[in-house]
Chains A and B, each alone.
Chain A
Amino acid sequence: MELLYASMLGLLTMSGVYLLLRARTFPVVVGLTLISYAVNLFLFAMGRLNTGMPAVLGQASEYSDPLPQALVLTAIVIGFAMTAFALVLALRAQGELDSDHVDGKGDQG
């Protein structure tokens, strides 16, 4: 399971970085979203991958670490707000600069 998980994270990050380097606002925002998925999954895995272990005391003989789950929750909320802001900004840049290039320059490059 660890190998599958790790390679999925790698794949997500790779796609995210590739899209980030496209220098158009829409792929960049999608790329950032993919990277933040990868980061959230990574944070989650830092509590170690287990099955059948609830994050609540007294529900089972063994329990998993609840802190990474709390961290992921916080990170998701923050990441969501930031992505929404970036989208609004990208739309405004499209309107004001008449281009979806991140440098606002048009299509020469």
Chain B
Amino acid sequence: MNHLPILPILLPMFVGAGLLLMARSGTSVQRSISLVATLLQIPLALALVGQAGQSIEVYAAGNWAPPFGIVLVVDRLAALMLLITAVLASASVLYAIRGDDNLGRNYHALFQFQLMGINGAFLTGDLFNLFVFFEILLIASYALLLHGAGSSRVRAGLHYVLLNLFGSALFLIAVGTLYGLTGTLNMADLAVRIADTSAADAPLIGAAGMLLLIVFGLKSAMFPLYFWLPRAYAAASAPVAALFAIMTKVGLYSILRVYTLMFGEDAGPLAYLINDWLWPIGLGTVVLAAIGASASSTLNGLVAYLVVLSVGILMAGIAMGNQQALTASLYYLIHSTWVSGGLFLLAGVIARARGPRYGARLLAGPQLPSVMLFSAIFFIAAISIVGMPPLSGFIGKVLLLSSVESGGQAAWLYSVVLSSGLVVLVAMSRAGSTLFWRSEASSSAGEPVDKVRMVAVGLLLLSSPLLVIFADPLLDYLDATARQILSPAGYIEQVLSTLPVNAGGNP
């Protein structure tokens, strides 16, 4: 039996637990273990991406056959998300080992547990197990958010924790309703049961489905549930904020998974349950995030709103629901996760170079050291995230805009996406000109620029040109991914035909 699918969960779990036990040993040991374990995720994810390119891999945990046991399912989408997480986490941990992990205790253990939760949420094929992994990633993120505290972190953290606790209660109600009506929690089995549900049960299942949308919407920061995000992300330390760039995408992934698999075209009266809702929500998120971005007073806050904006664009893409739009959304998802992660790290470096008095606030401050380098990097990142040619944001937006089908949709999408792009362009130029060109005569009280931190920034921002250069093979993979997502029959068939392994090792 192939045990590869469970390794992205087991590796961070054991490393995290080990790091907890080694809390007294030196920081350098902990740092190197954490770095190696995180870097190991990249080849692991690459191997799974290769495997998922062949066929959908199903791993029955504890050798309990589905739909009774918990399964892990590696399809193209899950493997892709694992790879995005692995790269982002590697850059984040590389940044963190230069001092941000020393502000409090057990940073690396929490980091690994967070990775475990994220990877598990992507891999699991069971709805209740998804809830459990959500809770794992959330409790690790609570602690990471508050790491190296300060009063702004406590305040933002309190909102974040209380909102998510309420979200968990809603998640459980939805899961309970689905179980009560269908008698299963396996997502593939749920899809089959929902497809031939009776007319009397359909409204209740629909209600559970909409509750799930609220839960996932809270995680992915959609309108009107995003108000916690800018404050929380702006208050978190740079590497934590960079890792959190994937957290909104966990919510988006769940939306994509649940509503294409369980409430897709085969679901009878419940088919396309949320598409009509997701479209205005997505566009509303884009508009409000653009306004928030132009009003934010710190660079972190600005980048946090850019994360919300990318969520809105992705939701609009998912709501369109055709194969081309999904391909474009997945491309945009990779781009926005890595580049906004890189921007969070860059904001952290700039804040350190400007000293604690100015930080990442958009005020004229002391002259930055090596301002040319900083402004060049910021310029590239800004072009990429705004969506100007020739970088990856441009390709993502062009693909998305060209995939629109009807005239009315086109009018909305073009006007909202293009005008939000302009607003963000203005906000980014204002931020850049304030940070790099307007300087007071006062001497800088900041730290010298750390090379390793800049490597971490470069690693993530370099992905933008690489995504352009390798766009052709990547889009082939994403196109096949979108096709797989839109025809869930293959996924369901693969999961439900899985048999337990006998003692001899043969199924």
Q: Which A positions have Cβ atoms within 8 angstroms of B? A: 20, 25, 28, 32, 35-36, 39-40, 42-43, 45-48, 67-68, 71, 74-75, 78-79, 81-83, 85-86, 89-90, 92-93, 96-97, 102-104
Contacts and interface: CB of A to CB of B under 8 A. Distances in A.
B166 A35 contact: yes
Given A32-B166, A42-B176, A97-B151, A85 B132 contact: no
Contacts of B158: 25, 89-90, 93, 102, 104
A74 B162 contact: no
B154 A74 contact: no
Contacts of A43: 172, 175-176, 179
Given A82-B139, A82-B165, A93 B154 contact: yes
Interface residues of B, number: 27
7 contacts: A74-B132, A78-B132, A89-B142, A93-B154, A97-B151, A102-B159, A103-B155
Contact of A42 (B128, B157, B168, B173): B173
Given A20-B166, A28-B162, A32-B165, A89 B154 contact: yes
The winner among B155, B157, B159 for most chain A CB atoms within 10 A is B155
Nearest to B136: A78
Interface residue SS majority, chain A: helix
A86 B165 contact: yes
B56 interface: no
A82 to B, nearest CB: 6
A93 B161 CA distance: 12
B233 to A, nearest CB: 18
A83 B142 CA distance: 12
Given A42-B173, A71-B128, A104 B151 contact: yes
A85 B139 contact: yes
B417 interface: no
Contacts of B177: 46
Interface in B47-68: none
Contacts of A83: 165
B265 interface: no
A96 B176 CA distance: 39
A48 B128 CA distance: 18
Nearest to A65: B183
A13 B182 CA distance: 24
B172 A75 contact: yes
A89 B179 contact: no
B139 A68 contact: no
B330 interface: no
Given A81-B139, A85-B139, A85-B142, A97 B162 contact: no
Interface string B115-156: 000000000000010001001000100100010010100110
A77 B172 CA distance: 13
A48 B176 CA distance: 11
Interface string B163-190: 0011011001101110110000100000
B162 A102 contact: yes
A16 to B, nearest CB: 8
Given A43-B179, A89-B161, A102-B162, 11 more contacts: A42-B173, A43-B176, A46-B177, A68-B179, A71-B128, A78-B132, A86-B165, A89-B154, A93-B155, A102-B158, A104-B154
A50 B76 CA distance: 43
A88 B105 CA distance: 16
Given A46-B179, A97-B155, A39 B173 contact: yes
A20 B175 CA distance: 22
